[in-house]
Amino acid sequence: MSLSALSPLDGRYAEETSPLRAVFSEGALIYYRIHVELVYLSQLLPFLNVPLPADFAEVLQEIHATPGLIQAVKEKEKTTRHDVKAVEYVLSDCFIQAGHPEWVKWVHWGLTSEDVNNLAWGCMLQAAHEEVFVPLWLNLLEHLRDFIFATKATPMLAHTHGQPASPTTIGKEYAVFGKRILDELKHQATLVPVGGKQNGATGNWHVFERFYPQLNWQAFSERFVNTLGLNWEPITTQIVVRESHARYFDSLRRLSSILIDASRDTWFYVSLGYFNLKRRDANEVGSSTMPHKVNPVNFENAEGNLEMASVLLDFLSNKLTKSRMQRDLSDSTVQRNLGVALGHVLLGIQSFVRGLNQLEPRLEYLEAELNQHWEVLAEPLQHALRLEDREVPYDQLRRATQGQQLTQAGFENLIAELNISMPTTTPATYIGRAPQLAQQTAEEIDAYLNSLLLNPVPDRIK
């Protein structure tokens, strides 16, 4: 961890965010630019029927694996003052050193910088999705599934408008969050891969059509972009159409909102005394002055990071879908913050899972609280009176219970006054189908996880 890091993602949280550095660091961007240039060359020359040696593919692989290649590009950029041109020059030098100077003229042939950059960023986003976030979300679902199973029948007083309401179970309330996350992840799977383009300076294949008009350049571009694991965008300006990126960012923002909601509810449940928080280790300190405290910091950290991510993702979604005329560069510096936005999502998910593993339901406390709120049984009592055709039973019960907190004795006195029998005996048993709903959701999550084991996410980016 660097104590001089400007961003906490590379300072305090460097270890937690390390998985994203492989796909969103400056080095990763250079790596994927090189990757795009070499894949392009590997398809362009055969397409043009340029004579090639038998070891053509091996030469390209060896150049890609050249030690210090990324650093060489960064050094070259100091003189070119242009990041993509630096890649072109360094690769040209590599081909000369490899004994193939005749290929230099084809490096970056017909391309604009954005042809390389949009594909590099697309590959990076795709790699982050498949290599970092899919496993992260599945791990979260696994923990939620287990928590829902374990607490599916644990009764809990519910709260609507912050006031005591018809009881539920812990598992059912977390099943709501589990189902929301599951449905959004299923939707998100339809949003990838994101789009990519390769069509020159203003999207019209000028150079390609000028020198090789007889060739089908649109078909070539589609195959090339698809080879990189991206969807082909057939009609663009100089920059790629980024609605596919925006849809993915919006999905991540919705998932972040769901976890913010879950973090806040859990924070309130902890403050109400519904959970003990298990200490992470014997030396953990909860407060600098109050020795007794174990704070819900993981849920607070999750909330804060996910709120930060939501703001950034919303901004990226709006900003990156706009460009002045055929091209302006205001998106370029903004795009470099993709890793920042996703880094906060990553921290939020990690914090939520850690917090979830700390939760220990306080069964005796939950039961005792339910026994202090027998007034919640006014709901079924009202309906029992309705079935006996009593006159305005709702108003009758409202006068007897509104704003009141009834014990068992007080509620039994009310039943006696009304001279009616009750189908529900205690608040703890008035939980409807909560256990079954929790069970159904846990099973749905389990089936989804098992289906992915049989059909793993494809590893498109190598």
Q: How does DSSP classify residue 7?
A: S
> Tell me, what's the pLDDT at 462?
32
Length in residues, the chain: 462
Find out whether 255 and 305 touch, Cβ atoms under 8 Å. Answer: no
What is the distance between the terminal CA atoms of the chain, rounded to a whole angstrom? 28
Nearest-CA neighbor of 180 among 141, 124, 136, 221? Answer: 141
Q: What is the pLDDT of residue 285?
A: 65
- Smallest CA-to-CA distance from 86 within 107, 102, 106 is with 107
Please tell me the predicted confidence (pLDDT) of residue 282: 64
Confirm whether 287 is a catalytic residue: yes
Amino acid found at 52: L
Residue 3: the pLDDT is 81
Domains (range + CATH), the chain: 14-109 (1.10.275.10), 124-195+237-360+439-454 (1.20.200.10), 368-429 (1.10.40.30)
How far is residue 366's CA from residue 173's CA, in Å, rounded to a whole number? 15
Query: What is the C-alpha to C-alpha distance for residues 73 and 86, in angstroms, rounded to an integer?
Result: 6
Separation of alpha carbons 434 and 174, rounded Å: 11
The alpha carbon of 227 is separated from its chain's Cα centroid by a whole number of angstroms, namely: 25
DSSP-assigned letters across all residues of 348-362: HHHHHHHHHHHEEE-
Which of 424, 437, 386, 370 shows the shortest CA–CA distance to 152?
437
Single out the residue of 149, 111, 77 nearest to residue 435, CA to CA.
149
The pLDDT, as a whole number, for residue 461 is 34
Element (DSSP H or E) covering residue 164: strand 163-169
Q: Give yes or no for a contact between 205 and 217, defined as CB atoms under 8 angstroms apart.
A: yes
pTM: 0.92
CA of residue 367 relative to chain centroid, distance: 36
Supply 188's token pair. 């998100």
- pLDDT the model gives residue 456: 66
Q: Kindly give the confidence (pLDDT) of every residue in the chain, 462 residues in length, as a single tens digit, with 9 standing for 90 and above.
A: 678 888 899 999 999 999 999 899 999 999 999 999 999 999 999 999 999 999 999 999 999 999 999 999 999 999 999 999 999 999 999 999 999 999 999 999 999 999 999 999 999 999 999 999 999 999 999 999 999 999 999 999 999 999 999 999 999 999 999 999 999 999 999 999 999 999 999 999 999 999 999 999 999 999 999 999 999 999 999 999 999 999 999 999 999 999 999 999 999 999 999 999 987 766 676 655 666 667 899 999 999 999 999 999 999 999 999 999 999 989 999 999 999 999 999 999 999 999 999 999 999 999 999 999 999 998 898 888 888 887 666 777 888 888 889 999 999 888 888 888 876 679 999 999 999 999 999 999 999 999 988 766 555 333
Which one of the listed residues 2, 18, 271, 287 is annotated catalytic?
A: 287
Under DSSP, the state recorded for 374 is G
What gap in Å lies between CA 141 and CA 147, rounded to an integer? 10
Q: Of 15, 103, 119, which is closest to residue 60 (Cα–Cα)?
A: 103
Nearest alpha carbon to residue 23 among 116, 137, 126, 113: 126
**Catalytic pick among 161, 288, 421, 451:** 161
Q: What is the pLDDT of residue 460?
A: 39
